Amino acid sequence: MDYKSAGVDVEAGYEFVARIRGAVERTRRPEQLGGLGGFGGLFALPAGYREPVLVAGTDGVGTKLKLAFALDRHDTIGIDCVAMCANDVLAQGAEPLFFLDYLATGKLSPAQLAGVVEGIAAGCLEAGCTLLGGETAEMPGFYAAGEYDVAGFCVGIVEKSQIIDGSRVQVGDVLLGLASSGVHSNGFSLVRRIVELSGLDWHHRPEALCASLGEILLTPTRIYVKPVRAALQAGFDIRGIAHITGGGLVENVPRALGGLGARLERASWPVPRIFDWLARTGAVGEVDMQMTFNLGLGLVLACPPDQAEALQAFFAECNEAVFPIGTVGEAAGVVFV
């Protein structure tokens, strides 16, 4: 007996590392020390901070992975993983510094998982962070053939005095919504159930949609780091940031408002057609839609009323679709009007 006969192919692991080396190197920031292959990643804190605070976040992609398996397409899932973590770090006002990934599979396919890591590298480039390291675990008998799991870990940095935690949000502040790229990476257990019970498959293209269900739903989560960081550096007073993930607008918006609530004007932003299709096909009620999906908004910001118009114009110049979607109120929670 040997390790390979037990189901673990170390040679495939070496091939995998060789395949991803170039993608990983492209994400390198000046603060990174050393290279790929060490037992730990080394990263020096950027200069210029008086009271630097590290902000850490971790997340995965959830059952959206099942769609990637079904379509045998793995180049976007890595972007999702980075986005879920980097956007969370950004919600505290932090600049993402580095990212690490964890990949686990039953039998390592170098080509398949290299596609995942290339997506992770693409996401890191978009977020401006280094892909500092990761772990790939081959675990025979633990995962179904052709399947894997992926998780990510992101660390960012922010000046202590510039932390965004909602404590400065005031009643009357304007809420701006930045458009999502679609469903992002939440609610896929419901999405999959709707498609399954409808008798359709991922290749089906509904008349109301511009592409197949698979193409639309695999669209990766939008990464908002560069435009939001640019707005902060330009001096805009962004007092709260909500990343709209699991729990939708109902759960996530109040988390950014320091105990205050939100009054959202339901007709103030366009909802992508995929959400209408899901609601109609699955007979999903409006409340459940609001508590499950982002409904077209990936990030919600709170800012003073006298800065709202200028901030909208700034994001428009950054090619970000942004909408004034409501205001901050005294009553906790979210009210749709």
User: With 90 as the cut, is the pLDDT of residue 261 above it?
Assistant: yes
Q: Domain check: are 192 and 329 in the same one?
A: yes
Query: pLDDT tier at 6 (50, 70, 90 boundaries)?
Result: confident
Query: pLDDT tier at 148 (50, 70, 90 boundaries)?
Result: very high
Q: Domain check: are 210 and 313 in the same one?
A: yes
Query: What pLDDT score does 35 carry?
Result: 81
Query: What pLDDT score does 150 carry?
Result: 98
Q: 120, 140, 162 — which closes off a domain?
A: 162
Q: How many domains does the chain have?
A: 2
What residues make up the domain containing 257? 174-336
Contacts of residue 120, Cβ cutoff 8 Å, sequence gap at least 6 = 23, 78, 79, 81, 82, 99, 101, 131, 134, 152
Please give the C-alpha separations between residue 291 and each of 213, 248, 250, 274, 280, in angstroms, as whole numbers.
Answer: 22, 5, 6, 16, 16
* pLDDT, average across residues 212-239: 97
User: With 90 as the cut, is the pLDDT of residue 2 above it?
Assistant: no
Query: What pLDDT score does 38 carry?
Result: 81
49-70 residue pLDDT tens: 999 999 999 999 999 999 999 9
Dihedral sign of CA atoms 48, 299, 336, 308 in order:
positive
Q: Domain check: are 180 and 158 in the same one?
A: no
- Provide the residue count of the chain: 337
pTM check: above 0.85? yes
In this structure, what token pair is assigned to residue 162?
């510039």
Helix residue ranges, H only, 91-239: 110-127, 188-198, 213-217, 225-233
Q: Domain check: are 68 and 181 in the same one?
A: no
Q: What number of other Cβ atoms are within 10 A of residue 82's Cβ?
A: 31
Q: Domain check: are 151 and 181 in the same one?
A: no
Query: What pLDDT score does 7 carry?
Result: 82
Q: Is 3 within a domain?
A: no
Q: Taking all residues of the chain, what is their mean pLDDT, rounded to a whole number?
A: 95
Q: Is 2 within a domain?
A: no
* pLDDT, average across residues 179-208: 95
Query: What pLDDT score does 36 carry?
Result: 78
Rounded Cα distance, 207 and 204, in Å:
10
Half-sphere exposure of 95 (CA within 13 A, CB side): 21
Q: Is 75 within a domain?
A: yes
Q: Domain check: are 140 and 181 in the same one?
A: no
289-326 residue pLDDT tens: 999 999 999 999 999 999 999 999 999 999 999 999 99
Angle of helix 64-71 relative to helix 188-198, nearest 10 degrees?
50
Name which of 63, 65, 57, 107 is nearest 82 in CA terms: 57
90-137 residue pLDDT tens: 999 999 999 999 999 999 999 999 999 999 999 999 999 999 999 999
Residue type for position 278: L
Q: Domain check: are 47 and 187 in the same one?
A: no
In this structure, what token pair is assigned to residue 303?
């800012």
* pLDDT, average across residues 146-158: 97
CATH code, 178: 3.90.650.10
Q: 127, 162, 197 — which closes off a domain?
A: 162
CATH code, 56: 3.30.1330.10
